[in-house]
C-alpha cells in the first residue's frame, strides 16, 4: 500500500503512559524517539500537556505534562525529521501556559474531545493554531456518538476551526470495518478542507484491520504504537502498519530492534493487548475501566461472570 499523502503518527509514549501513569524515564522515551525516527515515522506523540493545577506531579510522571525542557532532554542531539506531537484534553489544559510553537520543541498539538464538547475543542484548536502549531482534533468514543449530533459537529468543525486533521477515535475498540467505512465517508462529506485520521483500539483484534479500512477510504493520518502498547487492549501495532504501507521511506528494522530490547521485557512488567475482558468490553461498546478493574482483582480470569455483570447492567440501563 503506497500513498504519498499518508502520515504515520506513533503514540507509544502517550497512549502507553495510560498504563503506568506516564512514568517512563527520559532515556526510555529517548530510545523510542530514536527508533521511530530511524524508522521514518512522521510524528511521535510524546505525552499530554495537562495543567499541573489539575493533576499531581507526585502521582503522575513527566509525560503527563510534557514540559518543553523535559522534551528537549529526550530528543536533543538526535538527527531526525520526525515531528513531536502532544495531546491535550478539553477541560484539562490551560492554553495560556502553552508556549508559542516557535519557542517549543513541539510541532503539533492534538485536541481530544467528545462530540458534546466540540465548541471547546474548536476554541483550543484555533488558539494553538494561532500559536503556530499544527493541529488535530481527535473525536473520542465516536462509536457512541454516531447520530445527527456528529454531523452537526463535523459541519461546525469545517466552518469554524483551523484544524488540519480530524481523527475518528475507536476508544472502546468496538468498531467493525463497515462502520469505519461509514465514518470515514461521513467525515469526508463534511470536511472538505481537512484531512481525516484514524486511531484504533485492539479490543477485538481489529485495530490493524480497521486502520487498513480507513486507508482504503482515504484517511491519510494513521495512529499506531510499538508492539501495540496502550491502555487496556492497546492500539494498532506500528510494526504491522509499517509492513503494510510498503513505503520506501519507512524502515521496520529499528522498530523490531526496539521491541526485542525494550518492549518484550516491558510486557513482563505491565499488561496490555488482547485479552478476554477487554474483548468483552469492545463487543459491548463499553469503556475499558471495568475490564481494567477486573484485571486488578482476585477474579481477573472469571470471564463469564464479568460478561454477565456487564450485560446485566446494560439491561438495567
pLDDT at position 4 is 87
Instruction: Give domain limits for the chain.
Output: 7-267, 279-316
pLDDT at position 14 is 98
Contacts of 113 (CB under 8 A, 6+ apart): 89, 90, 120, 121, 137, 138, 139, 140
Mean pLDDT by 10 residues, the chain (317 residues): 89 98 98 98 98 95 98 96 98 96 98 98 98 98 94 98 98 98 98 98 98 98 98 97 94 98 97 97 96 96 96 72
Question: Within 13 Å, how many C-alpha atoms sit on residue 232's CB side?
Answer: 26
Secondary structure E strands in 60-188:
83-89, 108-113, 134-139, 165-170
What is the Cα–Cα distance from 300 to 306, expressed in whole angstroms?
A: 9
The predicted-structure confidence for 41-50, as pLDDT tens digits, reads as follows 999 999 999 9
**CATH class of the domain whose range is 7-267:** alpha beta
Are 47 and 14 in contact, with CB atoms under 8 Å apart?
Answer: yes
What is the helix, strand, coil percentage profile of the chain, to 5? 45, 15, 40
Q: What is the pTM of this model?
A: 0.96
pLDDT at position 246 is 87
pLDDT at position 1 is 59
Pair type for strands 165-170 and 134-139: parallel
pLDDT at position 3 is 86
Contacts of 312 (CB under 8 A, 6+ apart): none
Are 154 and 166 in contact, with CB atoms under 8 Å apart?
Answer: yes
C-alpha cell of 243?
Answer: 509492513
Amino acid at each position: 500500500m503506497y500513498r504519498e499523502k499518508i502520515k504515520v503518527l506513533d503514540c507509544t509514549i502517550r497512549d502507553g503512559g495510560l498504563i503506568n501513569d506516564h512514568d517512563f524515564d527520559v532515556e526510555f522515551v529517548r530510545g523510542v524517539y530514536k527508533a521511530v525516527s530511524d524508522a521514518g515515522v512522521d510524528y511521535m506523540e510524546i505525552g499530554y500537556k495537562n495543567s499541573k493545577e489539575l493533576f499531581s506531579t507526585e502521582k503522575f510522571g513527566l509525560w503527563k505534562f510534557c514540559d518543553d525542557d523535559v522534551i528537549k532532554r529526550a530528543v536533543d542531539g538526535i538527527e531526525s525529521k520526525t515531528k513531536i506531537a502532544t495531546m491535550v484534553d478539553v477541560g484539562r489544559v490551560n492554553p495560556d501556559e502553552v508556549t508559542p510553537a516557535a519557542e517549543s520543541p513541539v510541532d503539533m498539538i492534538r485536541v481530544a474531545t467528545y462530540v458534546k464538547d466540540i465548541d471547546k475543542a474548536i476554541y483550543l484548536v484555533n488558539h494553538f493554531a494561532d500559536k503556530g502549531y499544527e493541529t488535530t482534533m481527535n473525536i473520542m468514543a465516536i462509536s457512541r456518538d454516531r447520530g445527527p449530533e456528529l454531523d452537526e459537529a463535523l459541519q461546525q468543525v469545517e466552518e469554524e476551526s483551523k484544524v488540519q486533521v480530524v481523527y475518528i477515535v475507536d476508544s472502546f475498540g468496538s468498531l467493525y470495518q463497515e462502520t469505519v467505512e461509514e465514518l470515514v465517508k461521513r467525515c469526508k462529506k463534511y470536511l472538505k478542507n481537512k484531512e481525516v485520521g484514524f486511531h484504533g483500539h485492539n479490543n477485538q483484534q481489529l485495530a490493524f484491520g480497521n486502520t487498513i479500512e480507513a486507508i482504503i477510504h482515504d484517511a491519510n493520518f494513521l495512529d499506531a504504537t510499538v508492539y501495540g502498547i496502550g491502555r487496556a487492549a492497546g492500539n494498532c501495532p506500528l510494526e504491522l502498519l509499517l509492513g503494510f504501507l510498503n513505503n520506501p521511506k519507512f524502515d521496520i528494522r529499528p522498530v523490531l530492534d526496539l521491541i526485542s530490547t525494550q518492549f518484550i521485557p516491558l510486557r513482563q512488567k505491565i499488561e496490555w493487548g488482547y485479552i478476554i475482558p477487554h474483548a468483552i468490553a469492545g463487543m459491548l461498546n463499553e469503556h475499558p475501566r471495568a475490564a481494567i478493574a477486573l484485571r486488578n482483582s482476585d477474579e481477573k480470569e472469571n470471564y463469564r461472570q464479568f460478561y454477565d455483570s456487564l450485560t446485566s447492567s446494560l439491561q438495567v440501563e
